[in-house]
Chain A
Amino acid sequence: MAWEAVIGLEIHVQLATKTKIFSGASTAFGAAPNTQACAVDLGLPGVLPVLNAEAVNMAIKFGLGIDAEINKINAFERKNYFYPDLPKGYQTTQLERPIVGAGHVDIMLDDGSSKSVRIHHAHLEEDAGKSLHEDFQGMSGIDLNRAGTPLIEIVTEPDMSNAKEAVAFAKKLHSIVTTLGICDGEMSQGSMRFDVNVSVRPKGESKLGTRTETKNLNSFRFMERAINKEIERQIDLIEDGGTVIQETRLYNGDTDEARSMRSKEEANDYRYFPCPDLLPVVIEDSLLDKLRGEMPEMPDAKKARFIRDLGLGEYDAEILSGDQTTAAYFEATAKTSGDAKLAANWVMGELSKSLNQNEIAISNSPVTAEMLGGLILRIKDNTISGKIAKQVFEALWNGEGKDADEVIEKKGLKQVTDTGAIETMIDEVLAANAQQVDNYRAAPVEKRGKMIGFFVGQCMKASKGKANPGMVNQILKKKLEG
């Protein structure tokens, strides 16, 4: 039987505010345990929450960034459950009246077509602290630094049908929140955490199967693997005559293993009710107008501009607009070099390869956009060939010069364009390969095109790559044809 999967996501995005959502404590990552938790975060008796306006602004920006309705009156509720890393015994969150209503995020699929993933809503809430079970013999440690960190939880409709789509969506969302500057996007630090809801059904069936939820995936790779594994597990289970039970699951990326955490029967009754310590949030039109004015160019708009104004193809534009830093790097390179297509090729080619091999973020690239742009300029004005340019790039990468001109100068890589010098060199090559010259001249015209490559190669070798390949070709042809 053919199966299809139905996937929906819930994403927790930590907002990049300086202080917590309901207190003045810092949100900085990595401090010693419990040093960034004030009386409010600790849930001491008598403390009260005060909503951080910056968190509200960031949530609104997210809503504007995905074309969503902003609920001008939204409200906080308490979600009640006991856990040691939840100091108050409830999480302050939004349920009935979330700040961001329905919107959509468009993704590009492998075949180049695009798909719109609907966003059901996004709401503001506070993060819990962390329970640390490893470092304490027979006990658990509690770190409340994270308690009260502002989050938006984004809930999608079940619009994705395989792991690749889910990952494409996740990457697009990452691009949106980092472009907006509302999240640092550091997934390894938990800044974006994905819960995936997966169910399967026979292809063509309209009724949804029973879903499971795999929680807290914090890398695209783990997410893809966890989804594929869960789809496979559910199909195997059903084909073996079993049934999927609604449950929450955990996936361990290091061991590539998943296990059940709790079933629906064990789920809490969270007893949601409006938080009496907080007034409903009323968003004025003037605030919306102000935030609209602060919106950066979103990835989709950027992509369209790259295609329209810079003449990039759909694929290149998609890749280069996806990440804020990459886009900025590309644009700077294109500007310096005056050639967007070459800039795109170099950023997506040589630069991207070197960054990946050395696991360096583009923001830390030893070759800056200005250096790369300068290098491309030298290709364009025929100072160096494309091949030599790669050598220059490598030298720049290794810090052997402050810019392309210095490297070219120091290493003597300037292209030879002097006709006399090239003719002399060609004559030497032809003399040293008399047999091949004869073969060439004896060959039928249609085969000569391929054969000339040998002589070009010899000439370039003799010039250590510095001879202008166009001129070599031209002069060679003339001399061989005699």
Chain B
Amino acid sequence: MHEKTLAEQSKALAAGEISSVELTQHYLGRIETLDPQFNSYITVTGDQALEAARQADARRAAGDFNALTGIPLAHKDLFCTEGVRTSCGSKILDNFIAPYESTVTANFRDAGAIMLGKTNMDEFAMGSSNENSFYGAVKNPWDIKAIPGGSSGGSAACIAAQLAAGATGTDTGGSIRQPASMCGITGIKPTYGRVSRWGMIAYASSLDQAGPMTRTAEDAAMMLNVMAGFDPKDSTCINKEVPDYTADLDKPLDGLKIGLPKEFFAEGLDSGVEQVVRDAIREYEKLGATIKEVSLPNAALSLPAYYVIAPAEASTNLSRFDGVRFGYRCENPKNLEDLYKRSRSEGFGEEVQRRILVGTYALSSGYYDAYYRKAQQIRRLVREDFTKALSEVDVLMGPNAPTPAFDLGANTKDPVSMYLQDIYTISLNLAGLPGMSVPAGFVNGRPVGLQIIGRDFDEARLLNIGHKFQQVTDWHLQSPTGLTA
């Protein structure tokens, strides 16, 4: 059953070939047996999952169901889930039981989907390797010496290891696309404002966006159908009709104009990764697409701009973790200042503290204009670059990350080399545009994905383009060895 895609499981449930309880039990068993080596889950909610599965089976029996009713899913541990620990990968929230439900997980719950548990992640979504988790690093199911990518590393790994057919992720600077690429799965970051951020613990509010992580584009379309939509509880959520993302999956790609940003194929890109990406683009030519080189002249400025804006927003978003009302509180505080300092110093990990310091500095009196304001100006230029390029072509394609998954520990000493992992993904977050990664090949046995970038609200188009590729390739169907259980 775990080899089946989400769409296939949905059909099996509809045909009565399997019950949600059986499917859920099957996954819970696999998680128990296999996950200790990957560490992709922080919390497994077995009892609640089985109870929800029983209800889902009853709903199906009563004829009250949709495509996701009874489907087990995993949620990144930064979506607040009522009554369940929501840690955000941090010691500071290790004891935090969310008293309310995020819109994304509530949408899945209401659709009758089952939550298997909460997946591991870089603390507060800050990281590109999933090594910054209070709950330990996640290992790549394709090679347990390798990182799974981050920050949605747990979600990516649990799909690759077939410990769920679908998972939620979030993407602030590449946190869905880069781990999807490194774990050989499909992931899409929707347009900023397409999915509600209510109940998603914020890293950088103007960049954060939730999306599905699955094996296939079709599965991602099915999940996005449930996730997307206007939410009056999120002022940045956009009130725009949600199409049926599965409707146009099979649309032919004849005449599709693909742009290759030359800056995405410049120095620093691993030759193996480049080969995989160029091969994938050749497949699209076979499917009737034409290729054109385009330019994003300010792309190189994205990285420094992002590492001002994101830490700046994070530095104030994370002020609420102060040891006063919830979360970790230091032992025997001497006074208020001691309570603040020690609770935060002991509760936050090193990378989170580094970004809070960077962000605090960037917003400080006397530095604001040089850093934050300048970064916002760059952000507008980056957006203009994309708008211009996407007026010449329908979509852009390129790599997600400069290298395949690297070894655990390889980049932990040098934050800047770690930040360079995001060089092809973060410009998209700055521009607010949708982007997707689909499995496109391997380099030394480690998966590499193709990044596809679209115009605002072009998610259906991206999913169509991904799906057509998956009709003629089988990279997405391959699975790591040693997963039998």
Contacts and interface: CB of A to CB of B under 8 A. Distances in A.
Interface stretch (B36-44, B196-204, B288-296): B196-204
A42 B322 CA distance: 12
B102 A46 contact: yes
B364 A271 contact: yes
A132 interface: no
B156 interface: no
A327 to B, nearest CB: 40
Nearest to A45: B201
B322 A45 contact: no
Closest 9 A/B residue pairs (Cβ): A89-B319, A276-B205, A271-B363, A276-B206, A43-B320, A45-B201, A46-B199, A46-B80, A46-B201
Contact of A88 (B96, B204, B320): B320
A352 interface: no
Interface of A: 39, 42-51, 78, 80, 82, 84, 87-90, 142, 269, 271-273, 276-279
Contacts of B98: 44-46
Given A48-B197, A82-B340, A142 B324 contact: yes
Contacts of B99: 39, 44
Q: Which of B100, B204, B235, B321 has the most CB of A within 10 A?
A: B235
B27 interface: no
Given A84-B336, A277-B205, A89 B88 contact: no
B312 interface: yes
Interface string B406-430: 0000000000000000000000000
Contacts of B364: 269, 271
Nearest to B309: A276
Contacts of A271: 315-316, 360, 363-365, 368
Contact of B198 (A48, A80, A82, A276): A48
B363 A279 contact: no
Q: Which of A39, A47, A48 has the most CB of B within 10 A?
A: A48
Interface residues of B, number: 44
Nearest to A279: B235
Contacts of A87: 320, 324-325
Contact of A80 (B100, B206, B363): B363
Contacts, number: 98
A44 B80 CA distance: 10
Contact of B234 (A44, A48, A88): A48
Q: Which of A45, A49, A88, A269 has the most CB of B within 10 A?
A: A45
Contacts of A45: 80, 86, 88, 93, 96, 98, 201-202, 320-321, 326
Given A39-B99, A269-B364, A277 B235 contact: yes
Contacts of B79: 46
B313 A48 contact: no
A50 B316 CA distance: 18
26 contacts: A39-B99, A39-B100, A44-B320, A45-B80, A45-B201, A46-B201, A46-B202, A48-B198, A48-B233, A48-B236, A49-B235, A78-B316, A80-B315, A82-B340, A84-B324, A87-B325, A89-B316, A269-B364, A271-B364, A273-B372, A276-B206, A276-B313, A277-B205, A277-B235, A278-B235, A278-B236
